[in-house]
């Protein structure tokens, strides 16, 4: 039987994915027809990304699974018309890209690079930064991306703590979990990296209260999702000096509106949702592997638990 796969990922262009997906399916031993115009009654799998034109999954009577090209599933997980398994993207390229982006921005702040890059008065301030082991970094979210970043930073010598929903044991990282563990994870942290999913439970996890737990002048780095931060609370903490800088890659509204205060704030760095992206070849292998598994009745990889939203 030839498997019918609909590519319904509007933001990810079909011309970029056609060759790698076709090859990955062939290499996985799956005989498939894949395209953007498969008749709804024939569709068995949907390759999906946010802003897909597909919003009503009930029109696909033979649908077996939806395979998200992105790690974040907040736009599709709550969809009540979706009755089949939803898998998300865990991909080497995505993980490695995030490690590099996070490490780069952590080192920027740890080393105080801005002082020397922007030095209009040509000041000679010969003050060496502390060593990594003297810098407390906290990673909120210890999943595929957060744990990889935590391990890399711990490997560089940083004093790393982390926070997740369930208990974790990660070499070199002091792990906290559950609502009760948040305060311990954040206490006195000087750099905080947000790698949580956007769910009901994580909305505004960075708020007026939790910002006060951090060391004075702490840095927030958010490559997770915009709603993790109460924006008004962050702006007021930036203005009071409780937060020294925020490097933000994701926002409640994207693109970030031109008149948003983040653009103008001297202590905010805005990057345009580029922390890491799904790479076509490795992502295609992930999609093909899940279709192969589904076809032989094996459990899918990276399944989303829709009861918790990630
Ligand atoms: P995972 O699902 O692998 O990890 C999520 C982590 O968050 C887990 O450790 C989980 O805990 C923890 N978590 C979830 N809910 C809670 C909660 N209520 N309290 C405490 N911890 C919680 O996701 P990934 O690591 O793959 O990705 C994380 C996010 O990064 C994505 O959801 C996406 O929003 C964002 N992202 C951003 C990109 C960018 O370019 N800016 C690119 C890719 C992803 P537990 O381990 O116990 O389940």
Tokens of 152: 């890399």
Active site amino acids: 225, 273
Q: Do 259 and 216 belong together in one domain?
A: yes
What residue owns the CA closest to ligand 1's atom 30?
A: 224
Q: Which atom of ligand 1 is nearest to the CA of 90?
A: 26
pTM, entire model: 0.97
Does residue 100 surpass a pLDDT of 90?
Answer: yes
208-229: average pLDDT: 98
Residue closest via CA to ligand 1's atom 16 equals: 165
Which residues partner with 243 through β-bridges?
A: 218
Residue 144: inside a domain: yes
Whether residue 96 sits in one domain with residue 199: yes
> Residue 147 pLDDT more than 90?
yes
Confidence of residue 10 (pLDDT cuts 50, 70, 90): confident
Mark whether 189 and 291 lie in a shared domain: no
Structure-block tokens of residue 129: 């930064």
What mean pLDDT comes out for the span 214-218? 98
Residues 184 and 145 in one domain: yes
Domain count, the chain: 2
Domain that holds residue 178: 92-270
Which has more confidence, 11 or 96?
96
Range 237-251 average pLDDT: 98
Q: Are residues 30 and 170 in the same domain?
A: no
Residues 218 and 77 occupy one common structural domain: no
Q: Does ipTM surpass 0.85 in this model?
A: yes
Closest atom of ligand 1 to CA, residue 197 = 32
Task: Give Cβ neighbours of residue 134 (< 8 Å, ≥ 6 apart).
Answer: 159
Do both 56 and 172 map to the same domain?
Answer: no
- To test the pocket of ligand 1, the residue of 50, 68, 71 to mutate (highest count of ligand atoms within 8 Å of its CB) is 71
Q: For residue 145, how far is its CA from the centre of ligand 1 (angstroms)?
A: 7
Query: Mean of the pLDDT values across residues 263-292?
Result: 96
How far apart CA 247 and CA 305 sit, in angstroms, is 30
Q: Is residue 306 part of a domain?
A: no
- Beta-strand relationship, 3-8 and 218-222: unpaired
238 & 131 share domain: yes
Tell me: do 226 and 82 sit in the same domain.
no
Report the separation in Å between the CA atom of 304 and the middle of ligand 1, taken as the mean of its atom positions: 11
| Pair 250, 153 in one domain | yes
Side-chain-facing half-sphere of 92: CA atoms under 13 Å: 5
pLDDT at 174: 98
Residues 26, 280, 303, 82, CA torsion sign: negative
Confidence of residue 186 (pLDDT cuts 50, 70, 90): very high
Q: Are residues 115 and 132 in the same domain?
A: yes
Q: Is residue 305 part of a domain?
A: no
Q: Is the pLDDT of residue 56 over 90?
A: yes
Quote the ligand 1 centre to 94 CA distance (angstroms). 13
Cα 11 to ligand 1 centre (Å): 21
| Ligand 1 nearest-atom number relative to CA 201 | 18
């Amino acid at each position: 039987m030839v498997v019918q796969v609909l590519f319904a990922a509007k933001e990810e262009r079909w011309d970029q994915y056609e060759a790698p997906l076709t090859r990955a399916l062939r290499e996985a031993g799956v005989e498939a027809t894949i395209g953007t115009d498969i008749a709804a009654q024939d569709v068995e799998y949907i390759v999906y990304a946010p802003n897909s034109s597909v919003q009503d999954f009930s029109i696909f009577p033979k649908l077996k699974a939806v395979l998200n090209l992105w790690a974040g599933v907040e736009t599709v997980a709550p969809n009540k018309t979706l009755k089949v398994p939803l898998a998300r993207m865990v991909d080497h390229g995505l993980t490695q890209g995030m490690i590099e982006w996070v490490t780069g921005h952590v080192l920027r702040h740890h080393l105080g690079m801005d002082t020397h890059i922007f030095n209009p008065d040509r000041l000679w301030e010969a003050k060496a930064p502390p060593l990594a082991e003297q810098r407390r970094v906290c990673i909120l979210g210890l999943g595929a991306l957060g744990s990889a970043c935590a391990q890399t930073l711990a490997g560089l010598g940083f004093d790393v703590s982390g926070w997740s929903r369930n208990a974790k044991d990660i070499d070199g990282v002091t792990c906290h979990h559950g609502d009760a563990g948040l305060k311990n994870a954040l206490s006195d942290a000087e750099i905080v990296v947000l790698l949580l999913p956007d769910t009901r439970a994580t909305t505004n996890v960075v708020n007026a209260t939790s910002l006060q737990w951090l060391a004075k002048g702490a840095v927030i780095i958010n490559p997770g999702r915009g709603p993790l931060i109460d924006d008004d609370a962050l702006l007021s903490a930036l203005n009071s000096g409780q937060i020294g800088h925020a490097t933000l890659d994701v926002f409640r509204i994207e693109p970030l509106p031109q008149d948003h205060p983040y653009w103008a704030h001297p202590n905010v760095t805005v990057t345009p949702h580029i922390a890491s992206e799904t790479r076509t070849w490795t992502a295609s292998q992930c999609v093909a592997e899940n279709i192969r598994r589904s076809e032989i009745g094996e459990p899918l990889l990276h399944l989303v638990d829709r009861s918790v939203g990630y």
